[in-house]
Structure 1
Amino acid sequence: MKQHTIRHFGLRKRLRQLRPSVLYRFLSLELMRTLPRRSEFGLVIAGVLVGIAAGLSVAAMTLIARTMHSTIFGLAPDQRLSGAAVENPILLLVAPIAGGILLGILLLLLARWRKRPLVDPIEANALHGGRLSLTDSLVVAVQNLISNGFGASVGLEAGYTQVAAGFASKFGSKLKLRRSDMRILVGCGAAGAIAAAFNAPLTGAFYAFELIIGAYTILSLTPVVVSALVANLVARLLSPSDAGIDVGSVGSVLPADYVPALLLGAICGGVGILLMQGVALVEETARKSAIPGYVRPAIGGIIVGLLAMISPQVLSGGHGALHLNLEANVTILGLLGLFLLKAVASAVSIGSGFRGGLFFASLFMGALIGKLFAFAAPYLGHASLAPASYAVVGMSALAVAVIGGPLTMTFLALEVTGDFPMTALVLAAVITSSFIVRTLFGYSFATWRFHLRGETIRSAHDVGWIRNLTVDKLMRADVRTADAAMPLEEFRARFPIGSTQRVILVDEAGKYAGLVLVPEVHADLVEAKDGGVLVRDVARHRSDVLLPTMNARQAVALFDQTESEALAVVSDMIGQRVIGLLTESHTLRRYSEELDRNRREISGEL
């Protein structure tokens, strides 16, 4: 007691000796660490700070990209690359090649500097509890800026969300947030990034709910929405001219318009599948070739440059080209040709190694499909909608096919048009497109790329806790072992009934040789029958073992397959050194406990 009093007095003395400014910073840091863990209000404050960081990041990256476009392609400050008339055709060819070479050099340096793969927000929330490296996020942003700035057919949205989520994860790590709160904060960063990029807070919020967090809960609603609003406000204060998408007047919607909208949604779902498979085909072709990874972006730049010489509208994300085609009267062949050029340019850009996403590219291509569909609408028996209306429907339907998030794209249409009847029409098309993709394909663009890497995740739902619940954390290490060559009589003498339930056998080399149930060995006591019998002769599951890296779900599946109540855990399949024992009942109990804890965290009960 006296020692505790002395220690407490020493702490107070050190606190008194601190300067007021240092003491204030110390107390502020402690308050920021404890407040988000103990109250929802603290998480909202953290969301505000993340929203500010997201808005600043979007404004900074947009400014850098616009400056690069102006410098490299000689554009006016207010011009968009894909909507500008670049007079020098050689520049259209050379710029993407130069960007590919520069990106290849960066990839070569990264291959020597950072060996681990870069983690994006969806993967971080699904597998790593929201933890991703801020350094890696900044690297992704630089790659995205090089790709977009030199004209590759990719948008900046991937860089926006990566940087904002990276800042959120770093901030959450400093605050030592719980796993569920960390995932929400990463969602706040992504929500702020999309809201600031499109001047659409609702779109940003539901992008976080559907694609980054993987679920909507009351606990996550306030911080995510607040972060989206704050980020959008910051971005508009810094870049008031970047006001998202302007589609103009979309006209009135009648009940009969739902039939062509549903058909357009189904078409966009099929096109989205083809587009994602096209990107995968380019990546697979490049991977199987003998071309080094750092050379591929330059080759992709050659193809994109040649396509840009046909139409500069394939360059960059497509903001300028989208507005240009929404306002102009373009022929069927012109729209079809531009769609094919943009689709090839986007697939080649991403497949060859340029960093970016298909968010805005899918919006642009969807708008082209919508305007193409407007030419066929009169032949379907109804043609009351304007081409701009079909463009909005196609824009949202193709984007949901590629990116995912039906409500995200529906709210984007609402915030772009401000028209509720039009939003309901878009919702019908979006649901149709999403249903087609989930039924026939099963993946969005991000999760499809995870699948190609061998991952099994299909959304940002938190499955990382299952992977962390591994056999080595569940098993018992204090196991009873015996020599497999031991006579049965000696085994009975060493392990009398009641001494233990199971004994693991090992051979003379120390390898696993089977599992013996002690009560079963003592069940038949006819000595003559057991004469000369070794204990290995009554062993079970001689080839059925668990590995320490298996997760609980894999262990349960193996228990079902072998119809065993317990299995031995070995170091590896080659050495098979026994390191523990795991029972099915303990595995199921721990799995249920973790599942319930995860449910309570998501619902806010913890």
Structure 2
Amino acid sequence: MAAQPEGAAGEPHVLPAGLLPRLWTFVRAQVRAHEVLVVALAALIGTCAGAAATAMGVVTQFMHELLFGLASGERLSASPALHSPWLVLVPAAGGVMMGGIALALKRWRPHAIVDPIEANALHGGQMSLTDSIILALQTMVSNGFGASLGLEAGYSQIGGGIASRFGAIFALRRNDMRILVGAGAAAGLGAAFDAPLMGAFYGFELIIGTYSIPAAIPVLAATLCGVVTARTLGLHAEPLTIAHLPEVDASQFVPFLLLGLVAAVVAIGIMRLVTAVEWVVGHSRLPAPLRTGLAGLAVGCLALYSPQVLSDGHGALHAQVGSAVTLSVVVILAFKVLASALSVGSGFRGGLFFASLFLGALMGKLYAVGVELLFPGIGLGLAPSVAAVVGMGALAVGVIGGPLTMSFLVLEMTGDLTLTGLVVGAAAVTSLTVRETFGYSFSTWRLHLRGETIRSAQDVGWMRSLTVAAMMRTDMRIFPRDGTLGGLRQAFPLGSVRLVVLVDDAGGYAGLVRVSEGYADHREPGTPVQEIARHADAMLLPAMNVKEAARAFEAAGAEELPVVSDYESRRLVGLLSESHVLRRYAERLDMARRGLGAED
């Protein structure tokens, strides 16, 4: 056996006890303290996310070629027709598999999977990497078997999950963790589309929820590394080329802005349809494998008309943008909307990101033709190919959100600044209309249906942890509800206390009394104390967060309010002042802005 190296005293070299833990603590402290190390960590996360996105794309393309008999490199949605009518059973088989996976997860991992938006809004960027891998695999099964969904949810989820795991390993602050989750999600999506600017702004607008200088460099570093990694590994995204692109006249800007309104209406309709399908499926009482299996069969039957309704529609988009407008465009648009709603509503996992781009392109082409048919004498001359690109970006903004995200995607796909300007205008109209009339994107709408109230990824998790129970005081002075002013004066001399809480015999809240009002000269000692009580019906609950408490103070017009265990018994448990609520809110808001928090 080889001899161990010895020191000067002839004994083996042994690391001092506790050196490795101390060294790791030092490394973590350096990462937390230096922004450049956070950027380096973001670059590493982007590389991992790019590799994961590449693997997902390669595997699902292989599944398409294997299951649908495609030639090497052929896009499923670009196929002219299904090679055999029996291929309608492929999405059905995928549905049965997805239903079985759902049953297994319900038993072994019954909790809901937290996506990057929810993680950043409510949990300080904390996500489960295991859950993220599970969701990514589910999206691969769904897309691989032809469900009318894309892989975007998986790209974003796996990137965010990797980032959250690295953030937990290095014990990063809440704000840094949220930035890294945004960077990871941005890297995954940017790598898949070969669009670094789109990926970065996806991270800003949808995952982080705001633009900021500290977040810019880590997100851009991660996205660029993700894109470079995907390119190096061979993941290729075809540019969207439009032959003989016509010039856009200034008189056409208004019609294209109106296209943004149309896109908003269609986007809201799609989200409502998905909800309706989910309600029908949820009330069908069918086993999960049968529900998704039947939905998959329906999607497969729709694909008998055209495979363009299958998968995310990537190949179909390139075929449709420059082609002529025929009646089949109307049919494909209707079938694709139905197929996507059936896929999402029945339990397939995936995203509507690219599906909404494809639907928007079809909608834009029909809009251009419709304007010419309705107003033939105006002579606007809207080019269907241009309208397709504008509709593509506008509808995607309505469904997914992120007007700059989609505008940069169009720029990176087409390389045309004029088209990008039109998309920016139409996307702004769509975004404003959807926010004013509907209030949610597809991701936040689904969270709303689960009972959440968040409308973006802006950090509100700290707000929920700052509850009335954490802010209230319990040293309030109480006085019997059926007492008199004379008793009040005897119990509380003037100047000894400012406010007294009235309670009944069971300890239930009955009102607030200012002691100074009990010493008014015109009031007799025998006057019931209830005559000067205020806010008898205004109360707070311990579980209310700081924002809800502030609203309660504003509605009641009160400076102090009691805290009761519940509205029925009204049992008094504490007292809270509006000034304290506002001060604590301002403190925590400043801490959140500076990236500090209780999780540090």
| TM-score, length-scaled by structure 2 | 0.89
What letter is aligned with 2:344?
I
Residues 589-598 or 249-258, more deviating: 249-258
Q: Specify the alignment match of 2:218 in structure 1.
A: 223
Q: Specify the alignment match of 2:494 in structure 1.
A: 497
Q: Specify the alignment match of 2:458 in structure 1.
A: 461
Q: Does 1:508 align with 2:505?
A: yes
Measured against aligned partners, the alpha-carbon deviations of 1:251-305 in whole angstroms (never above 9, x if no partner) come to 2534345344334333323322222222222223333444455643223222212
- Report SS of the residue matched to 1:309: coil
Measured against aligned partners, the alpha-carbon deviations of 1:502-544 in whole angstroms (never above 9, x if no partner) come to 2333333333333333333344597xx434x665565433332
Separation (CA, whole Å) in 2 of partners of 1:325 and 1:252? 17
Residue of 398, 404, 426 corresponding to 1:429 = 426
Separation (CA, whole Å) in 2 of partners of 1:560 and 1:177? 37
* Aligned counterparts, 1:205-244, within 5 A: 205-240=200-235, 242-244=236-238
Q: Does 1:357 align with 2:351?
A: yes
- Report SS of the residue matched to 1:267: helix
Deviation at 1:250, TM superposition (A): 5.7
Deviation at 1:469, TM superposition (A): 1.9
Q: Specify the alignment match of 2:342 in structure 1.
A: 348
What letter is aligned with 1:40?
E
* Aligned counterparts, 1:437-452, within 5 A: 437-452=434-449
Deviation at 1:546, TM superposition (A): 0.8
Q: Specify the alignment match of 1:557 in structure 2.
A: 551
Q: Specify the alignment match of 2:192 in structure 1.
A: 197
* Aligned counterparts, 1:559-578, within 5 A: 559-578=553-572
Instruction: Decide whether the 8 Å contact of 1:236 with 1:243 is kept in 2.
Output: no
Deviation at 1:166, TM superposition (A): 1.3
Separation (CA, whole Å) in 2 of partners of 1:552 and 1:438? 25
Deviation at 1:374, TM superposition (A): 4.9
Residue of 99, 104, 108 corresponding to 1:109 = 104
Residue of 404, 408, 413 corresponding to 1:407 = 404
Separation (CA, whole Å) in 1 of partners of 2:432 and 2:528? 61
Instruction: Decide whether the 8 Å contact of 2:481 with 2:529 is kept in 1.
Output: yes
Q: Specify the alignment match of 2:476 in structure 1.
A: 479
Measured against aligned partners, the alpha-carbon deviations of 1:333-355 in whole angstroms (never above 9, x if no partner) come to 11111111111101111112211
Q: Specify the alignment match of 2:3 in structure 1.
A: none
Deviation at 1:369, TM superposition (A): 2.4
Residues 569-578 or 585-594, more deviating: 569-578
Calculate percent identity across the aligned residue pairs.
Answer: 50
Instruction: Decide whether the 8 Å contact of 2:393 with 2:423 is kept in 1.
Output: yes
CA shift in 2, pair 1:478/1:184, >3 Å = same
- Report SS of the residue matched to 2:149: coil
Measured against aligned partners, the alpha-carbon deviations of 1:367-394 in whole angstroms (never above 9, x if no partner) come to 2223334545764524485x44333222
What letter is aligned with 1:354?
F
What letter is aligned with 1:550?
M
Q: Specify the alignment match of 1:579 in structure 2.
A: 573
What letter is aligned with 1:517?
R
What letter is aligned with 1:476?
R
Deviation at 1:206, TM superposition (A): 0.7
Separation (CA, whole Å) in 2 of partners of 1:563 and 1:519? 19
The total of aligned residue pairs comes to: 579
- Report SS of the residue matched to 1:530: coil
Q: Specify the alignment match of 2:58 in structure 1.
A: 63
Separation (CA, whole Å) in 2 of partners of 1:370 and 1:516? 65
Residue of 583, 587, 591 corresponding to 1:593 = 587
- Report SS of the residue matched to 2:500: strand
Q: Which runs of 5+ in 2 are unaligned?
A: 1-12
Separation (CA, whole Å) in 2 of partners of 1:524 and 1:141? 75
Deviation at 1:313, TM superposition (A): 1.7
CA shift in 2, pair 1:494/1:115, >3 Å = farther
Separation (CA, whole Å) in 2 of partners of 1:487 and 1:428? 68
- Report SS of the residue matched to 2:547: helix
Residues 398-407 or 276-285, more deviating: 276-285
Deviation at 1:600, TM superposition (A): 4.3
Q: Specify the alignment match of 1:130 in structure 2.
A: 125
What letter is aligned with 1:142?
L
Separation (CA, whole Å) in 2 of partners of 1:478 and 1:599? 33
Deviation at 1:207, TM superposition (A): 0.8
Measured against aligned partners, the alpha-carbon deviations of 1:107-163 in whole angstroms (never above 9, x if no partner) come to 222223334322211122222222222222222212212211211101000111011
Q: Specify the alignment match of 2:366 in structure 1.
A: 372
- Report SS of the residue matched to 2:304: helix
Q: Specify the alignment match of 1:381 in structure 2.
A: 379
Separation (CA, whole Å) in 2 of partners of 1:32 and 1:258? 55
What letter is aligned with 1:372?
L
Q: Does 1:183 align with 2:178?
A: yes
Instruction: Decide whether the 8 Å contact of 1:131 with 1:169 is kept in 2.
Output: yes
Residues 286-295 or 210-219, more deviating: 286-295
Q: Which runs of 5+ in 1 are unaligned?
A: 1-15
Separation (CA, whole Å) in 1 of partners of 2:407 and 2:207? 17
Instruction: Decide whether the 8 Å contact of 2:393 with 2:406 is kept in 1.
Output: yes
Q: Specify the alignment match of 1:311 in structure 2.
A: 306
Instruction: Decide whether the 8 Å contact of 2:97 with 2:289 is kept in 1.
Output: no
Q: Specify the alignment match of 1:274 in structure 2.
A: 269
Q: Does 1:334 align with 2:332?
A: no
CA shift in 2, pair 1:263/1:555, >3 Å = closer
Aligned CA-pair RMSD: 2.8
What letter is aligned with 2:334?
L
Separation (CA, whole Å) in 2 of partners of 1:382 and 1:539? 70
CA shift in 2, pair 1:523/1:112, >3 Å = farther
- The structure richer in helix per residue is 1
